[in-house]
Amino acid sequence: MIDFGSEICGTLKVARTREWLETNGLGGFASSTVIGLNTRRYHGLLVAAVTPPTERMVLLARMEETLALRDADGNERRIELGVGEYERDHPAVLSGVQTRFRLDPFPIFTYEVEGWTIEKAVWMVHGHNTTCIQYTATRQSPLPADTRAELRIRPLVAARDFHSLKRENGELNPNAEVGLQQVTLRPYPDAPALRLSHDADLVDPTAYWYRGAWLETERERGYDHIEDNHSPCELRYQLGAGTDTLSLIASTEIVPIRAIEELRRGEIARREGVAAQAPFSDPLVSALTRAADAFVVARGAHKSLIAGYPWFSDWGRDTMIALPGLTLATGRFDVARDILTEFSRHLSQGMIPNRFPDRGQTPEYNTVDATLWMIEAGRALVEYTGDATFFRDVLYAPFCEVIDWHERGTRYGIRLDEDGLLRAGEPGVQLTWMDAKYRDWVVTPREGKAVEIQALWFNALQTLRGFASRFGDPARSAHFAALAERTSAAFNARFWNAANGCLYDVVDGPEGREDPSVRPNQIFAVSLPHSMLAPARAKAVVDVVVRELLTPVGLRSLSPNDPRFIGRYGGDLETRDSAYHQGTVWAWLMGPLASAYVRVHDRDRASRAQVRRWLNGFLPHLEQAGVGSVSEVFDGLAPYQPGGCIAQAWSVAELLRASVEDV
């Protein structure tokens, strides 16, 4: 359980940097800060995936929650529970009544106000675009004489694509359809109906526009950061002595309010089942197992993996890198099989899609490494399950086709060169995982023969050589072995940088140059199951990576000794993209480092203990940024502030995989 007291909840500067996340297994989510202050366009109590896991819309932005006290003379005092930030009163001022926030197992907010303790619990229902909100108000002493108390809740509706903002407009339908314990809102023709089930004592249909909501994180990121929300009604709940339970369900479906207790019990039981999938008892592993659940989503009748919250969808590269940690280490073998089967159906010219666009357009095939990572994911599935039959029946033929296409050439100049190394790239495109591009500027183009692509190619060839032999296919086995031998010979001749005692990042780049940049990509030449490096060279690579790139939260994307190094990640899009792979730290790279480190030290006790210390260094981060999960990136310089997505699939996955396999 993550538990914050007034030291966090009572300090605006700190509280706005802690964010919670609820997900529903469809790509939809609910998210905000631990004080309920929305700071991103992606924050909302119901962000529905209209076409799972994409077409996400912020339907319900947040609630205005007020305790109203009225005396016998009709005088009224109003105390705000939460905090909103508006253009007219930026920066926000905390009301001071929130004393606690905890994840137990979902977000629970505690308010101490006028003799009441009010707890608000928020959770999503798995498999549905449904968010439940339940208030428990407890008062130990009687109300003052002639005083009437109400908890008043105003839903603030956005009904927009989650990448965009809206201002007050005449297109919105302001009418609320009020029925028995049900309010239905149909704000725009292109948005799903928002259905609010409740057990309020009164529905006040007076509507307002809340103008000028200020989203500070969007301002910091250089984006439009002001929007208007429409409030179609107010729900009023009477409070008395003792304990009152007040409930609200926001959904795209009609969900009767009487179902809320069953939904709560069911979701708690489901999450207990998720926690039980932890491969062994350990604080970090247990936390990562729970975090992993957020990324497994439906895509039609199949499963996929969301790359990161709040803004990524399911990406091919991220899915294949994250699959072993998120599904195999947690025992979700059927999910892994389903994902691999579905992606194999989308193979085109030896490539899997790197991205399925939000609105169903043609998938994008623009990555050189995603398909090679898929072959490694297939190998890992057999390693965990022993199920070579699935590999033979479903994956073997498509994977052999992948090799054939790469030999003769496919999109974007991806082809096997005469020396046995894999070339990729054309001017103006970015094909490796270091894929930042701002307008026409490819920040780290890496055109030519990139080091990790050779490592993945060799690993794929050796993997398929072994399976070809196992499946009685000697011709292919011999062919793959011959290709692997050529690749290994050329790699060792071309990539060793004797001056630095490590590997070049790219050879045969523009004008035939070698790139001596010290980057983390070389670690894959050691960490993957099949390596081309002799032990002495492998250890030298690991030593350089540890010395120049290692931080407590992952590996820098460029050595700080490089004049191009950028130590801070932040600012507008151009500033962020310029730093994305030029010094910014990536948490997911701690996994490959762990595997490489124990390998070059013969998996002895000391090396495994060192890896455990590195991994446990992430425990404090679980109470930062996206609480309970692991961020996408961090600054390249101390104190290594988190940035990017607040919950990143491959960050969680690789820390979990390394914990299971290497510790």
**Which has the closest alpha carbon to 59: 49, 41, 47?**
47
In this prediction, residue 586 carries a pLDDT of 98
Of 270, 295, 311, which closes a domain?
A: 270
Q: What is the mean pLDDT of residues 187-199?
A: 97
Residue 262 pLDDT more than 80?
Answer: yes
Q: What is the mean pLDDT of residues 409-421?
A: 96
Residue 89 pLDDT more than 70?
Answer: yes
Of 238, 270, 302, which closes a domain?
A: 270
In this prediction, residue 198 carries a pLDDT of 98
Residue 511 pLDDT more than 90?
Answer: no
Least confidently predicted of 81-90, 108-117, 188-197, 304-313: 81-90
* 129 and 253 share one domain: yes
* 179 and 320 share one domain: no
Kindly tell me the sign of the dihedral angle through the C-alpha atoms of 335, 337, 340, 346: negative
* 563 and 611 share one domain: yes
Strand pairing category for 415-416 and 422-423: antiparallel
Q: What is the DSSP letter of 531?
A: -
* 71 and 118 share one domain: yes
**Which has the closest alpha carbon to 118: 127, 110, 108?**
110
Of 270, 297, 326, which closes a domain?
A: 270
CATH number assigned to the domain comprising residue 484: 1.50.10.10
* 263 and 309 share one domain: no
* 238 and 305 share one domain: no
In this prediction, residue 358 carries a pLDDT of 59
In this prediction, residue 23 carries a pLDDT of 98
Q: Is the pTM of this model over 0.85?
A: yes
* CA gap 312, 633 in Å, rounded: 14
Tokens 């091919």 label which residue? Answer: 316
Strand partners, 448: 424
Q: Domain limits at 602?
A: 277-661
CATH number assigned to the domain comprising residue 79: 2.70.98
Sort 276 into a burial class: Cβ within 10 Å, 0-12 / 13-18 / 19+: exposed
In this prediction, residue 361 carries a pLDDT of 66
* 263 and 304 share one domain: no
* CA gap 479, 362 in Å, rounded: 34
Say if residues 579 and 640 touch (Cβ distance below 8 Å): no
Q: What is the mean pLDDT of residues 574-596?
A: 97
How many structural domains comprise the chain? 2
* CA gap 187, 174 in Å, rounded: 7
* 343 and 245 share one domain: no
In this prediction, residue 142 carries a pLDDT of 85
User: Angle at CA 574, nearest 5°, toward 573 and 576?
Assistant: 65
Whole-number mean pLDDT of the chain? 96
**Which has the closest alpha carbon to 337: 397, 385, 271, 278?**
385
Tokens 């509280």 label which residue? Answer: 15
Sort 420 into a burial class: Cβ within 10 Å, 0-12 / 13-18 / 19+: buried
* 400 and 502 share one domain: yes
* 185 and 314 share one domain: no
Residue 264 pLDDT more than 90?
Answer: yes
Q: Which helix (H) or strand (E) holds 471?
A: none
* 188 and 327 share one domain: no
**Which has the closest alpha carbon to 195: 112, 256, 280?**
256
Residue 564 pLDDT more than 70?
Answer: yes
**Which has the closest alpha carbon to 457: 509, 555, 347, 532?**
532
Say if residues 54 and 313 touch (Cβ distance below 8 Å): yes
Q: What is the mean pLDDT of residues 380-403?
A: 98
Please confirm whether the linkage preceding 516 is cis (ω < 30° from 0). no
- Mind listing the pLDDT tens digit for each residue in 419-441? 999 999 988 889 999 989 898 89
Strand partners, 302: 299
Least confidently predicted of 100-104, 127-131, 433-437, 647-651: 433-437
Residue 379 pLDDT more than 90?
Answer: yes
Residue 282 pLDDT more than 70?
Answer: yes
Residue 103 pLDDT more than 70?
Answer: yes
**Which has the closest alpha carbon to 30: 118, 119, 122?**
122
* 373 and 390 share one domain: yes
In the chain, the amino acid numbered 537 is R
Whole-number percent of the chain with pLDDT over 90: 92
SS (HEC) of 316-340: HHHHHHHHHHHHHCCCCHHHHHHHH
- Mind listing the pLDDT tens digit for each residue in 290-337? 999 999 999 989 999 999 999 999 999 999 999 999 999 999 999 999
In this prediction, residue 359 carries a pLDDT of 62
User: Angle at CA 623, nearest 5°, toward 617 and 628?
Assistant: 95
In this prediction, residue 141 carries a pLDDT of 84
Say if residues 656 and 285 touch (Cβ distance below 8 Å): yes
In the chain, the amino acid numbered 388 is A
- Mind listing the pLDDT tens digit for each residue in 7-57? 999 999 999 999 999 999 999 999 999 999 999 999 999 999 999 999 999
Torsion of CA 60, 254, 270, 200, to 10 degrees: 70
